[in-house]
Amino acid sequence: MLLQLKDIHKEFDGKVAVDKLSLAVERGVIYGIIGPNGAGKTTTIRMVMNITIPDSGEVLFDGHPADAGFRDRVGYLPEERGLYKKLTLEEVIIYMAELKGVSPKIIKPKIGDWLERVDLTEYRKKKVEELSKGMQQKLQFVTTIIHEPELLILDEIFSGLDPLNMEKIKEIILELKRAGTTILFSTHVMEQAEKLCDNICMIHQGKKVIDGRLSEVKAKFGKNAIQIEIEGDGAFIASLPGVKGFNEFNNYIEIRIDNTTDTNSILKEVANRVVVRRFDIVEPSLYDIFIDTAKIDPNQLETIGESQNV
Amino acid sequence: MSKFWVIFRKEYSQVVKKKSFIISIVLTPIFMGGIMVIPAFLAQKKSTTAEKIAIVDQSEMGIGQKFIDEISEYKLEDTEDNLEDTEDNYYNVEEMFTLTAADSARFSTVTDSLRTEIIEDGLKYFLVIRPEAHVYDSNLYLITNSDNFTTIKRFEYRLSQILSGIRLEQSNVNLSVDSVLEITRRIDLRTKDALGESIPFEIKYFGALILVMMMFSMVIGFGSLCMRTVIEEKNSRIMEVLISSVSPFQLMLGKIFGLGAATLTQVSVWILMGSLLYTQRGMFDLDPSIDRLIFNPVIVIFFVLFLITGYLLYSTAFAFIGAIVNNEKEAQGFIFPITMMLMLPVILGISVVQDPNSTMATILSMTPFIGPSMMMMRIVFVAPTVTEYSLFSGIVGEATLALMVVILSIIFMIWLTAKIFRIGILMYGKRPTLPEIMKWIRY
């Protein structure tokens, strides 16, 4: 186990931000922390980084409490981003790497490659202030990974990036994973989490409500989602017997049914009323799980998914 | 510890590489030199045109005429006493009215018109000699809009001589005016200290002022830079990344010492420039006693020590401020009282230096933030007069004690700031209240 959080708890002015949260991140996985805004994701990550000190509980890195050496083995991209505006890209990268204990000699030859990966080659000797916001974000990502950390912690990594750059960063993250890097990231955008994560943890109002392998979490929710594409108004579907969840998208409707209801009966009912173009029985998307779970008071919710032996 | 050096190097090179740093290294001495030289230069500049004088004489003793005779022929002996060399200034007596003592109607017409001329700048000086001027000082006065100290002194000297002559004639003493003046000459009490010719007060005062100002500009300049870099890193949100790489304590010390090194660089360059200039001191008309100030080891050593410790103390305080404020505007309110403490000896001014060993001055020089500049001021005044220095008594002993106070304050401030720093640098938005800060300290 590379990273373990044991009952970490944090309150701000009497308000609970993170409520006795436990997590275990195995080496070499991509671990996604999801949750609505204000759920406690950033506070959790800050406690992992020893920036915020937990009121109780502990964080173990490689089985030991995080010490000074821990800082060098971790790459951290905070949600609030910023770099030295007056330094050149090269200077920033070297300085950040030096702060991680890596000498300029080792870093310099790598700068060219990495800047090329994120399309910033021509800016190498330019000042950071000349970059657009998206470019600065890519640069900061490079400064986070260039010292080859064992553990990469990315807080809302994709926010503010266009799809092209998102794809680029995603590629790099997957590449790093293949090379053995453990990645912990937070997001409130479910599609990304779904595409990237091996493991998922959902935090809601400071409490862990889902935790486990993505496939297991999905299996637990069951194959009880149906995507229906129809002609005409499908609003009536929500009131059919046995329908639990109803999400209307632009091109299709996604519903969830309870375990006792037969999918065939739904199809019949729908087909009687409108023309059905497509009727798919699917795994619920993380999005549905997120929406459904976030609606429920976390205190009445048992943790879904297999909590790993914490 | 290596990360301390990474921060140290970055902060140092960030300052030293800046153009503004190099410019200020060169310009500051020029500017300071300008402040010192230009007024002296202006004062020395002599008027080349004749200054117009008018005289109204009601004395019936020919004082006016005698005065004209005197000022039109200068003697070198004038340079004695408080008169500068006189060749360059000359006066052109425009009008001379000799009236009788009783002729008050004419007196007022004439004086009124001459007054108008003074106002309209047609006339520079207007000397009024009323009846009995040799008896009553108030019956002799000069009307002028000029503040030319030298001229006024010169007139005073001349008139004293004339009036002395008149009084002498009336007193039946058979002596020449010159010999009476010689007999009654006032003495100029010269002060010497145990080591010989004493250093004139102005030189000591000026020297102390320069040292305090240098200390002030560097301590406040680089100290507030320390604060500004903290604020900048807070605002650019880079702080979180920094703190995930180094400990807040390393960051704080790296900053303080890195900028401190920049301060020392600047001082070294200035000392070097100053030494070069000093070797060429023949070019300037300097008081030889300056050597006793500049080559006084106590002054030199303690200046460097107080500069370094003063910087450390203040920059830590500035780091403290940087950690708790969100922007420089918020910081302004804190900066003013801090800078005032360092300027206190200058504000108190003469009262300190007239009695550098007074209880107040001694206590103030042992007070944490005031100490460095106050002690420096006292050292300049006292150290050159002492022959034997002891670490445990006298001025050196007191300076050592003051230094200890500063060092203890630094240790305390670093301890305090370290506690505030790690929390403050990650707080955005609301400025913490005093109770909150107290909570952080206990944290």
Look at the alpha carbons of A186, A189, A190, A191 in this order and tell me if their dihedral is positive or negative. negative
> Quick one: pLDDT at residue B158?
85
Tens-digit pLDDT profile for residues B110-119: 888 888 888 8
Give me the pLDDT at residue B62, please.
85
- Work out the average pLDDT over A35-53: 86
Say how far residue B77 (Cα) sits from the centre of its chain: 33
Residue B68 in this model has a pLDDT that exceeds 50: yes
Looking at the predicted structure, is the pLDDT value of residue B193 above 80?
A: no
pLDDT given for residue B89 in this prediction = 53
Q: Do A83 and B236 touch (CB under 8 A)?
A: yes
User: Averaged over B244-261, what is the pLDDT?
Assistant: 91
Identify the sign of the CA torsion A87, A90, A96, A101. negative
- Return the H-helix or E-strand segment holding A231: strand A225-231
Q: What SS3 state is found at B97?
A: strand
pLDDT confidence of residue A91 = 93
**Range of lowest pLDDT (A117-121, B31-35, B54-58, B227-231):** B31-35
Give CA–CA dist B321/B318, Å, rounded: 5
**CA-CA distance, B181 to B183, in Å (whole number)?**
5
Q: Which two tokens stand for residue B234?
A: 């807070």
Amino acid at A29: V
* Candidate ranges A248-252, B71-75, B242-246, B380-384; pick with highest mean pLDDT: B242-246
Which residues, in sequence order, are CB contacts of A200 under 8 Å at separation 6+?
A31, A32, A34, A193, A210, A211, A212, A213, A214, A217, A286, A305
CB within 8 Å of B421: residues ≥ 6 apart: B248, B249, B251, B252, B319, B320, B323
**Rounded to two decimals, what is the model's pTM?**
0.75
Q: How confident is the model at residue B284 (pLDDT cuts 50, 70, 90)?
A: low
- Give dist(CA B154, CA B86) in Å, integer: 9
The secondary element (H helix, E strand) that includes residue A255 is strand A253-257
Residue B223 φ then ψ, to 5°: -65, -45
Tell me, what's the pLDDT at A303? 54
pLDDT greater at residue B402 or residue B28: B402
Whether B49 shows a pLDDT value over 90: the answer reads: no
Is B83's pLDDT higher than 60? no
| Nearest by Cα to A248 from A208, A288, A282 | A288
Q: Which of these ranges, B87-101, B105-119, B177-191, has the smallest mean pLDDT?
A: B87-101
B21, B245, B426, B440, best to mutate vs chain A, most A CBs in 10 Å:
B245
More confident residue, B189 or B406: B406
State the span(s) of chain B assigned CATH 3.40.190.10: 51-183
In the block, residue with structure tokens 């004086």: B111
* pLDDT above 80 for B241: yes
User: Is pLDDT above 70 for A296?
Assistant: no
B-contacting residues in A 37-56 (Cβ below 8 Å): 46, 49-52
Mean pLDDT calculated for residue range A66-94 = 87
User: In chain A, which among 104-143 make CB contacts under 8 A with chain B?
Assistant: 140, 143
For residues A196 and A286, what is the distance between their CA atoms, to the nearest angstrom? 12
Strand-pair partners of A245: A256
The rounded distance, in Å, linking the Cα atoms of B297 and B395 is: 13
Pick the more confident residue, A68 or B8: B8
Residue B84 has pLDDT above 50, yes or no: no
Residue B141 corresponds to which tokens in the numbers above?
A: 């006065």
Q: How confident is the model at residue A306 (pLDDT cuts 50, 70, 90)?
A: very low
Angle between helices A133-145 and A104-117 (to 10 degrees): 140
pLDDT at B102 over 50: yes
- In this structure, of A299-303, B188-192, B384-388, B393-397, the range with the lowest mean pLDDT score is A299-303
- Cα Rg of chain A, angstroms: 22
Question: Tens digit of pLDDT for each residue in B120-158?
Answer: 877 888 889 888 888 888 888 888 887 777 788 888 888
> Chain B: nearest CA to A83, how far in angstroms?
6
The residue among A192 and A114 whose pLDDT is bigger is A114
Over its C-alpha atoms, chain B yields an Rg (Å, rounded) of: 31
Residue of A76, A86, A92, A98 to mutate, interface with B, max B Cβ within 10 Å: A98
Partners of A136 on chain B (C-beta within 8 Å) are none
Question: By the 8 A CB rule, do B288 and B194 touch?
Answer: no
Residue A258 φ/ψ, nearest 5 degrees: -80, 170
- Chain B residues with at least one Cβ partner in A under 8 Å: 2-3, 6-7, 10, 235-238, 240-247, 426
Report DSSP letters for B382-427, one per residue.
Answer: HGGG-S--BTTBHHHHHHHHHHHHHHHHHHHHHHHHHHHHHHHTT-
Tokens of B385: 């007069």
- pLDDT in the model for residue A113: 93
Average model confidence (pLDDT) for chain A?
Answer: 85
Contact assignment for B237 to A71 by CB distance below 8 Å: no
Q: Which residues in chain B touch residue A83, judged by CB atoms under 8 angstroms apart?
A: 236, 238
CATH architecture for residues B51-183 = 3-Layer(aba) Sandwich (3.40)
**Greater pLDDT, B434 or B10:** B10
Query: Which residues from B are below 8 Å from A78, CB to CB?
Result: 237, 240-241, 244
The two three-digit tokens of residue A147, written as one number? 């010292």
Q: Does A80 contact B237 at a Cβ distance shorter than 8 Å?
A: yes
Higher pLDDT, B19 or B429: B19
pLDDT tens digits along B348-402: 877 777 788 888 888 888 888 888 888 988 888 888 777 777 777 788 888 999 9
Mean pLDDT score across all residues of chain B: 82
| Most confident range, picked from A172-181, B20-29, B105-114, B272-281 | A172-181
Question: pLDDT confidence of B73, banded at 50, 70, 90?
Answer: low
Per-residue pLDDT band for A214 (boundaries 50, 70, 90) equals confident
State the first-to-last Cα distance of chain B, in angstroms, to the nearest integer.
Answer: 24
CB contact under 8 A, B244 and A98: no
Joined tokens for residue B177: 């005016």
Q: Which pLDDT score is estimated for B45?
A: 55
Contacts of B245 in chain A (CB under 8 A): 71-72, 96, 99-100
In B137-179 the beta strands, taken as DSSP E runs, fall at: 140-144
CB A201 within 8 A of CB A208: yes
Cα–Cα distance between A61 and A185 in angstroms, integer?
16
Higher pLDDT, A64 or B353: A64
Per-residue pLDDT band for A111 (boundaries 50, 70, 90) equals: very high
| Of the partner residues A51, A84, A98, the one whose CB lies closest to the CB of residue B426 | A51
Between CA A176 and CA A183, with CA A180 as vertex, the angle to 5 degrees is 60
Task: Report the C-alpha gap between B416 and B429 in whole angstroms.
Answer: 22
Structure tokens at A185: 């990231």
Cα of B16 to nearest chain A Cα, Å: 14
Give the residue-averaged pLDDT of A52-77. 86
So what's the ipTM on this one? 0.78
Closest Cβ opposite residue A68 in set B6, B7, B247? B247
Report residue A281 as tokens.
Answer: 């029985």
For residues B293 and B195, give the distance between their C-alpha atoms in angstroms, rounded to a whole number: 12
In terms of Cβ atoms closer than 10 Å to its own Cβ (0-12, 13-18, 19+), residue B211 is buried
Residues B33, B35, B39, CA angle at the centre, nearest 5°? 115
The per-residue DSSP string of B232-301 comes to: HHHHTT-HHHHHTTS-HHHHHHHHHHHHHHHHHHHHHHHHHHHHHHHHTGGGS---TTHHHHHT-HHHHH
B64-94 exposure pattern, b = at least 16 Cβ within 10 A, e = fewer? bebbbebbeebeeebeeeebbebeebebebb
In chain B, % of residues over pLDDT 70: 89
